[in-house]
A and B are shown apart, each in its own frame.
Chain A
Amino acid sequence: MHITLVNMILAGATLAAAVRAAGAFRFHTLVRSYAISALSLGLLVVGLGIVRQRPELFALAAASIALKAFIIPRVVVRAAERSGMSMRLSSSLRPASTYLAILGIIAVTGFVALRSPFAAGADPEYLLIIALAMSVVGFAMMVMRRDLLSQVMGFLVMENGIAAFSFAVVRDLPFLVEVAILMTLTVGIVLMGTVSSRVRELYGTENTQALRELID
C-alpha cells in the first residue's frame, strides 16, 4: 500500500477514535478511544516523516505515542480505579444527540477549513480538516461533559487536533520547539490531573455540577 494512502487511513482513524471518545459514556471506552486516536496520530507523524524525509519526526512520534497512547491513559486509569470513581460518565446530551452534534460540528468545521486561507498550503489538505475538526470536537467535549475526567480528555483531544494542525500547515517547525510545546502541554495535563483528584477528595464526586461554591 502506498504511504500516502496509509497516512490517509491513519488520519481517518485519528478522527474516528476522537469522535468515539466524544460519544463514550463509559470510562474505559473513553480512555481506550483516546489512546487509539493518539496512537493513530503518532503513526501518522511517522508517515509524514517518511514522505517529508524528516527523520527527526520519528523521535517526536515515538515520544508522543509513548506519552499520549500509553503513559497518560495508564496513569488516568490507575488514578480513577484508586479513587473508586464511577465508571459511568455524565454529559448534558444523550449519546445519540452527542454523535449528531459532533457530526454537525465536523461538517461545519470541514466546510470552514476548506475555505480558510490555510487550505491552499496544507499538506495533506485532508489533515487540515481533521485537525480543526478534532480541535473543535475536543472543545465541545469540554463544554458538553459534566465530569472532570471527560473534560481533561476533551482537552487532550483538542491538543491532539492542534498538534495535527501544526503538522498540516507548518512544515518546518523546529524539532526543539515541537518538543517544548509537547512538554508544556504535558505539565498542564499533569496539573489538571492533580487538581481534579483534589476536587474528588473534597467534593466526593467527579461531577462538575457540584462545583458551585463560587457563584455570584
Chain B
Amino acid sequence: MHPFIPFSFTLITAALAFLPSKKDDRRRIFGIGMFLSCAAAAGAAFAPLVTGVTYAWGPIRVDRFAAYVICLVTIVAALAALAAVHYLSHGRNEGTVSRDAEKTFCFFFPLFVLSMWTAAAADNLALLWIALESTTLTTTLLVALDRTRGAIEAAWKYIVLCSTGITLGLLGVLMLIHSAADAQLGSGELTLSALVSHAGLLSPEALRWAFVFLFIGVGTKVGFVPMHAWLPDAHSKTPSPISAMLSGILLNVAFAVLLRVRPIVDVALGSSAWTGRFFLTFGLLSIALPTLIMLVQKNYKRMLAYSSIEHMGLMSFAVSLGPVGMLAATVHMAGHAFAKPALFVGSGEMLHEYRSTRIDKVRDVIARRPKTGVLFFAALLALLAAPPSALFVSEFLIVATGMSVRPVFTIVVLALLVIIPFGMMRSAVERLFSSETEADPHAARSAARTERWNLANASMLAGIVLCAALGVALISGPGYRFFAILSQSIS
C-alpha cells in the first residue's frame, strides 16, 4: 500500500477536528479516522516487515527496520487513541476538558502520529530532521493542554530543551551533508541509505563530528541523561494518552534514528567500537540516575517517566554489546512500547479517581477500581520483565551477552535492575493494596461496583497481551529468528 494513503487519512482526521460538530461527533470522527489511518499504515508496513522487501517513494524508504518502527508507532497510536476517546469523553462530561482543548487534542494527535511515521520512514536527511522537529512541535500544545501552572512549565521546558537539542542535531545533519558533498556525492544522494552504501568514501573525522552532534541532539529527544530534564515534566503533566505515546513510542522513534545513523560512522571507521562507547556511556548514565531517583520518587507519573529513561538506557547499553545486544535492543523496543502505555493509561485512570499524582494520596485501588488495579499490576509485572513478558527475553539476553562482552558494567547494570523492581513495586503495592485509613469502606465497595469496563481498560489489556504474546513467540523460536533477521537488517 502506498504511504500516501495513511498519510492522507491522518491529515484528514486532523483537519476534521475543526468541523463544527455536536457533542460526541468530534470524538467519533477522531476515533474512526485514527482507526482507518492505523489500519492503512499497518497495511503499508506489512510487506516490508514480513518479506524484507524495501519500498522507496521519493524521500521515503520503508525497509524492514523502518516497517518495524512504523508498526510499533501504529500499535501504540491505536492503543492511545482508544484511551484518548475514553479520556475525552470523561473529560467533556465532567468539565475537565473544554471544547477548545478537545479540538486541540483531536487536531494535534494525528499530526503527532504522522510526524513519527515520517521520522521512521524518512530516508532523506532533511526530511528526517523536519519530521523529528515536528514531533516536538505537534506535542507542545498537547503537553500544555491542561493549562495548569505545572502543564505550562512542562511545555516550556519541553519545547526549549527539545528544540535546542534537535537544532544541535541539525548541525550534525549539515555535517553529514558536507561530508557527502566532499565525497562528490550529488544532492540526490543526501539520504541515509546512500550514505551507508558510500560510507567508505566519507571523511571519518567529519563523520565523528556529525555523530557527536546527532547523538547529543537526537539523544535529547531519547531522554538520555544528562539531556533528560524535560522528560519527567512533560510525561507527567500531559494527558495520559499522550504520555503513553511520548513514553511508549516517541523515545523509540528517536532511538531508531540513532541506530540508522550509526552504520554510516561504523563503516567509515571500520569498527563499531567508537560509536559503541557513546551508547555504553549514555546507557549506563541513563540507567543509574533514574534508578536512584525512582527509589525516592513521590509522584507515580514521574516514576513512570524515569522508568522510561532507564529503559532507553538499557537499550543503549544493549546496543554497545554487539549483534546479540542489538537483537535484545530491538526486542526491548517492542516490549517497552507495549507495556509502558498500559501503565500510563492506568495512571490516568488513577489520577481521575483520586485527583492526585502523589503516591501517598492514592490508596486501595484494587478495592475502588478493581479492573484498573489488576491491569495496572499486570502491566507493571510485564515492565519489570516477569515472564512471559517480551522484556524478560530482552533483559535476559542483555545480561547473558553482557557477562561475556562487558562483565563489570553488566554486573553494575544487573545490580541496578534489582533495585528498580523494589522502588516500583513498593509504590505500586502502596497504591493498589494499602487500605484507606480515613475513607469509608462501604464507599470503596460501592465505587468498585460502579467501575465499568471502559476503553482505557481495553487499551491496557491489549498492551499487556501484546507484550506477553511477543514474549511467548520469542521463547518458542519463530519470534527469535524473526528478530535476529530484523536486528541484522539495521547494520
Contact = CB atoms under 8 A, between A and B. Distances in A.
Given A162-B171, A169-B178, A198 B302 contact: no
A34 interface: no
Contacts, number: 111
A118 B156 contact: no
Contact of B205 (A117, A135, A151): A117
Given A162-B167, A166-B174, A216-B293, A188 B152 contact: no
B160 A171 contact: no
Contacts of B482: none
A121 B209 CA distance: 15
B152 to A, nearest CB: 5
Interface stretch (B134-142, B279-287, B463-471): B134-142
B216 to A, nearest CB: 11
Contacts of B159: 188, 191-192, 195
A5 interface: no
Given A158-B167, A191-B141, A181 B233 contact: no
A184 B171 contact: no
A203 B149 contact: yes
26 contacts: A118-B175, A121-B178, A155-B163, A158-B164, A162-B170, A169-B174, A169-B175, A172-B187, A173-B174, A173-B187, A177-B126, A180-B130, A181-B130, A185-B167, A188-B133, A188-B159, A188-B163, A191-B140, A192-B163, A198-B144, A198-B147, A198-B152, A199-B156, A211-B157, A214-B236, A214-B237
B150 interface: yes
B212 to A, nearest CB: 11
B203 A184 contact: no
A84 interface: no
B37 to A, nearest CB: 22
A116 interface: yes
A113 B153 CA distance: 36
A158 B171 CA distance: 11
Interface residues of A, number: 41
A170 interface: yes
A181 B156 contact: no
B408 interface: no
B293 A170 contact: no
B317 interface: no
A211 B137 contact: no
Contacts of B209: 116-118
Given A191-B137, A213-B150, A118 B160 contact: no
Contacts of B167: 155, 158-159, 162, 185
A108 to B, nearest CB: 16
A31 interface: no
Given A118-B175, A171-B181, A184-B137, A148 B156 contact: yes
Given A184-B137, A188-B133, 15 more contacts: A139-B164, A158-B167, A159-B167, A162-B171, A170-B177, A173-B174, A180-B130, A181-B130, A184-B134, A185-B133, A195-B140, A198-B155, A211-B153, A211-B156, A214-B150
Contacts of A185: 133, 167
Per CB-CB distance, the 6 closest pairs between chain A and chain B, nearest first, are A117-B205, A177-B126, A117-B206, A169-B178, A214-B233, A211-B153
Interface in B275-328: 293, 297, 302
Contacts of B147: 198, 202
A116 B152 CA distance: 40
B185 to A, nearest CB: 11
B154 A214 contact: yes
Contact of A151 (B126, B160, B187, B237): B160
A213 B130 contact: no
Interface string A152-185: 0001001100100110011111100100110011
Contacts of B237: 214
B117 interface: no
Nearest to A139: B164
B345 to A, nearest CB: 21
B451 interface: no
Contacts of B150: 213-214
Contact of B126 (A121, A180, A188, A194): A180
Contacts of B140: 191, 195
A142 B170 contact: no
Contacts of A192: 159-160, 163
B263 interface: no
B137 A199 contact: no
A96 interface: no
A127 B174 CA distance: 15
Given A162-B167, A188-B136, A214 B177 contact: no
B122 to A, nearest CB: 12
Nearest to B208: A117
B25 interface: no
A158 B169 CA distance: 12
A187 B236 CA distance: 25
A173 B232 CA distance: 37
Nearest to A159: B167
A91 interface: no
Of A121, A180, A191, most buried by chain B (CB within 10 Å of CB) is A191
B24 interface: no
Nearest to B207: A117
Nearest to B306: A216
